């Protein structure tokens, strides 16, 4: 029988939650790396027992942990992330030039074809690659060296490369998203990159439709349609049907179009999920109600999903990395909150239950569907 | 042998107790740099957690102490007190208590 393994990164350690395909009863293992911020835990699609974890703290910096047994045991691997060339400067919050400085790994994207190859998105924004299971890392320098790099600026959480999408139909194409530079695409395996932000409007910028500078929170696609991208931006839910060359807004009548995560149903490429929060100044759900919104039309028309979620006195947020899906026939949707709750819906969002409600603040959620 | 006291999280990371011992060549003239070099050679997982990989500068939320004195701002090649070199006193890596 199929089972699922949920990889939860929190502000105080990682947790691994497992269940069978019913997704009703859960075994929770952890905390691994107790006391450390775990920004992301993700498994290889080639070997689901191969996991990578980003373990960091303000005191001790970055450690990368790797498991080869599905998270039962871990061992540290390489943690040296050196920029390939003189880093130069990007914009600081006050618009002054600020030197690029490595701070942490925000996101792992294991290769679709090789268990030992993995990409890492880091802060200050750059892309790194390992081909030896994380032992050594080298920068995919073409991105940071893009001519617009000096104009990139940090969001409140830091200037981070937080999303990496690998096109399963084209090994030379991938997408990344950076707060607050925007989205970028490569069509030559990372040698050269193109900003793909046309159609984004960000009123906090002096030039609202500038080529770069947008605070893209998350992008997602369905693997069967890698040219159709969905985006949750700092305000606005967006959609592109041409691999990011052009974007249009699909926020519709959401109670707020501000939020962080966005996810696509495993089997319905036009079904997408967001978790609106009140505003850029109020990072909690509107009206005290924890509501996931689903569109079955790729945006514009949305329905609130609330069964099993708290509908009063709830003031949590869901961060960009903290929503995921499984690929069971009845697609499961998962998310974790800043209040320490992790929820699952085993039926595409119609009903929800808590895997756990007392974790530390959740930074990331990933799900592995195991045969 | 030079004794080194590590903060809680680094003990766990390196899977050692509160105090470890490292061998430093020419110990009688041991410096902070030499002690940390030896520590990182013996426990490679600690590389980058006390000093920046590239600049070798002390991480901002950590301090170094010896014989009751904060030596964090001494040059890394300054000779440590004789008591540390002799193993009578430890070299301490101390994390800031700030944060939650």
Q: State the DSSP code for A71.
A: T
* pTM attached to this predicted model: 0.96
Mutation test of the interface with chain A: which of B39, B47, B48, B61, choosing the one with the most A Cβ atoms within 10 A?
B48
ipTM of the complex: 0.92
Percent of chain A with pLDDT over 90: 90
Judged by CB atoms closer than 8 Å, whether chains meet at B10 and A58 is answered as: no
**What number of C-beta contacts closer than 8 Å exist between A and B?**
41
Are the C-beta atoms of residues A229 and A239 closer than 8 Å to each other? yes
Handedness of CA A259, A263, A269, A271 (dihedral sign): negative
pLDDT digits (tens, 9 = 90+) for A163-195: 999 999 999 999 999 999 999 999 999 999 999
Which is it for strands A89-91 and B91-95: parallel, antiparallel or unpaired?
A: unpaired
Q: State the DSSP code for A50.
A: -
User: For chain A, first and last CA: distance in Å?
Assistant: 7
pLDDT digits (tens, 9 = 90+) for A12-55: 999 999 999 999 999 999 999 999 999 999 999 999 999 999 99
The residues pairing with A225 across neighbouring beta strands, listed in sequence order, are A222
pLDDT digits (tens, 9 = 90+) for B2-37: 999 999 999 999 999 999 999 999 888 999 999 999
The superfamily in CATH containing domain B2-95 is Beta-grasp domain (3.10.20.30)
**What is the predicted pLDDT for the residue at A146?**
84
Q: Can you count the helices (H) and strands (E) in chain B? A: 3, 5
- Chain B residues inside the 8 Å CB shell of A11: none
Question: What count of Cα atoms within 13 Å lies in the side-chain half-sphere of residue A342?
Answer: 33
Q: What residue ranges do the domains of chain B occupy?
A: 2-95
**What is the predicted pLDDT for the residue at B100?**
61
**What is the predicted pLDDT for the residue at A195?**
97
- How big is chain B by its Cα radius of gyration, in Å? 12
């Amino acid at each position: 029988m199929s089972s699922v393994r949920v990889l939860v990164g929190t502000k105080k350690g990682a947790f691994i939650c497992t269940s069978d395909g019913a997704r009703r009863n859960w075994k929770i293992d952890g905390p691994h790396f107790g006391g450390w911020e775990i920004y992301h835990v993700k498994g290889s699609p080639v070997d689901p027992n191969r996991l990578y974890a980003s373990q960091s703290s303000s005191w001790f910096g970055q450690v990368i942990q790797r498991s080869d047994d599905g998270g039962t045991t871990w061992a540290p691997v390489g943690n040296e992330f050196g920029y390939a060339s003189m880093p130069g400067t990007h914009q600081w919050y006050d618009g002054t030039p600020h030197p690029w400085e490595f701070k942490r790994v925000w996101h792992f994207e294991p290769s679709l074809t090789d268990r030992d190859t993995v990409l890492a998105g880091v802060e200050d924004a750059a892309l790194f690659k390992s081909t030896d299971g994380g032992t050594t890392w080298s920068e995919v320098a073409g991105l940071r060296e893009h001519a617009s790099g000096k104009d990139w600026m940090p969001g409140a959480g830091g200037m981070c490369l937080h999303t990496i999408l690998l096109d399963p139909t084209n090994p030379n194409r991938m997408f990344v998203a950076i707060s607050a530079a925007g989205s970028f695409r490569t069509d030559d395996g990372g040698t050269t990159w193109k900003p793909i932000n046309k159609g984004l409007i960000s009123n906090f910028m002096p030039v609202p439709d500038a080529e770069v500078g947008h605070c893209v929170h998350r992008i997602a696609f369905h693997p069967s349609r890698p040219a159709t991208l969905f985006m949750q931006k700092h305000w606005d839910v967006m959609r592109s049907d041409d691999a990011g060359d052009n974007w249009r807004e699909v926020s519709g009548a959401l109670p707020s179009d501000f939020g962080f995560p966005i996810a696509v149903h495993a089997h319905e490429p036009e079904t997408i999920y967001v978790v609106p929060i009140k505003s850029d100044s109020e990072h909690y759900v509107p009206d005290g109600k924890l509501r996931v919104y689903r569109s079955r039309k790729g945006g514009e028309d949305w329905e609130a999903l609330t069964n099993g979620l708290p509908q009063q006195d709830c003031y949590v947020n869901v961060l960009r990395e903290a929503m995921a899906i499984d690929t069971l026939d009845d697609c499961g949707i998962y998310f974790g909150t800043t209040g320490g709750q992790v929820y699952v819906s085993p039926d595409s969002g119609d009903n929800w239950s808590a895997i756990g409600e007392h974790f530390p603040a959740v930074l990331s959620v990933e799900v592995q569907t195991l045969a | 042998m030079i004794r080194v006291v590590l903060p809680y999280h680094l003990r766990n990371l390196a899977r050692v107790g509160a105090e470890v011992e490292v061998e430093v060549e020419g110990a009688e003239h041991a410096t902070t740099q030499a002690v940390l070099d030896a520590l990182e050679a013996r426990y490679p997982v600690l590389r980058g957690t006390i000093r920046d990989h590239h600049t070798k500068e002390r991480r901002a939320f950590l301090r170094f102490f010896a014989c009751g004195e904060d030596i964090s701002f001494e040059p890394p090649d300054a000779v440590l007190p004789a008591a540390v070199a002799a193993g009578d006193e430890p070299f301490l890596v101390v994390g800031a208590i700030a944060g939650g």
